[in-house]
Amino acid sequence: MRRSHEPIAWSLFGAGGMLLAFFGPGLVLTTALLPWLAAGDPQAAHAAIGALLAHPLGKVLVLACIALPLFHTLHRIYHGLHDLHLQAPRLPMQLLCYGGATLLSAISAWWLLLV
Amino acid sequence: MTDKVTVRVQRYRPEEDAAPWEQSFEVPYSEDLSILDALNQIKDQQDPTLSHRWSCRMAICGSCGVMVNNEPRLACKTFLRDYRDRGPVQVRALDNFPIERDLVSDISGLVEHLETVQPWLIRARESPVGEGAYLQTPEQMQRYAAFGQCINCGLCYAACPQFGRDPAFLGPGALALAQRYNLDSRDEGAAQRMQWLNADVGVWSCTFVGYCSEVCPKDVDPAAAINRGKVASDLNYAVNLFNILRGKDNA
């Protein structure tokens, strides 16, 4: 029996889903809504987020919050297309979905290093 | 005058029919009339050539699975009163299996998949009968009890789009059964079953559509069993990662 390598994709998918479920609403609240609704001073909020991005741990956290949900989404789209019978050849679709998630994650990591 | 209900039954007699077709029957209606009762009435009183499987009439044997209005159901557990005022009831053989005759499906593929996962207690060393039964606490039994309710009726296979597209997929019933034994404290065969869970045709063919759990007449929840199997297979992959990278692991 040939072992499936799906566990790699599924682990990233699962991690992204968990992260989104736990931190997603909080992230939207703190980065998009609170600065405008509650903080009263958008510039101070902007500076605070800037400080978070300047710290190595902050970079890791933000990268995790971008990269893992990307893998989660594209994994679901890849299998969703299969379920909808919109199946293109396997390898190009894998390259497009998982390669796309890898590429976008790498660009995010590069951008985070430059901040 | 007795109330009548129309049942449209799929017919297929391989020696004379090129393709399955539909035949309408009028059956005397009563509140407690099940689809199985209606089929038996048709066979006994109207057309003895109709073929359908059944045995226990109480959702234990799992042999009367059919599609009722496009939904996988046990004929004995489905009542015509629930289809009143919704037009004729359509009954046909289970989806995703070859049709042997009329409502009888060829479920040999399902039986093979069930056997594949070795659904019995595997022990490294069998205790002599004289030593008595293998003991288990109620808590230990609860871990697998729900997955042990399966009656192998095949409704989950008729519901599963992945099995429909690739009959090599072990499918919800067999994978739930594998989980049932892997979670049993008396069993020591999980390592043997893992190679099947880990395979492309094992848990990883499932995309968690979840229709199998919806149609299960015994509330086994095979989709949950498969997802637990995915966690187990995922851990197994991580534990064997070094060997996988060296190309020394193929199961």
- pLDDT tens, position by position, A38-62: 666 778 878 888 898 999 999 999 9
For residue A10, list chain B residues with Cβ-Cβ distance below 8 A: 204, 230, 234
Nearest CA in chain A to B235: A7
The mean pLDDT value of chain B amounts to: 95
CATH code for the domain defined by B4-105: 3.10.20.30
Q: What digits encode the pLDDT tens for the residues B132-185?
A: 999 999 999 999 999 999 999 999 999 999 999 999 999 999 999 999 999 999
Which amino acid is residue A75, in one-letter code? H
Looking at the predicted structure, is the pLDDT value of residue B1 above 60? Answer: no
For residue A80, list chain B residues with Cβ-Cβ distance below 8 A: 207
In angstroms, the separation between the Cα of residue B231 and the nearest Cα of chain A is 9
Residue B189 near residue B179, CB atoms below 8 Å: no
B250 touches chain A (CB under 8 A): yes
Q: pLDDT tier at B235 (50, 70, 90 boundaries)?
A: very high
- How far are the Cα atoms of A29, A53, A55, B136, B183 from residue A39, in angstroms, in the given order? 12, 19, 22, 59, 51
User: Do the chains contact at B195 and A1, CB–CB below 8 Å?
Assistant: yes
The residue extents of the domains of chain B are 4-105, 108-245
Instruction: Give mean pLDDT, residues B94-99.
Output: 98
CATH architecture of B108-245: Orthogonal Bundle (1.10)
Q: Which domains, from first to last, does chain A contain?
A: 6-114 (1.20.1300.10)
For residue B166, list chain A residues with Cβ-Cβ distance below 8 A: none
User: Quick one: what percent of chain A has pLDDT higher than 90?
Assistant: 63
How do B89-92 and B4-11 pair as beta strands? parallel
- The whole-number pLDDT of residue B250 equals 58
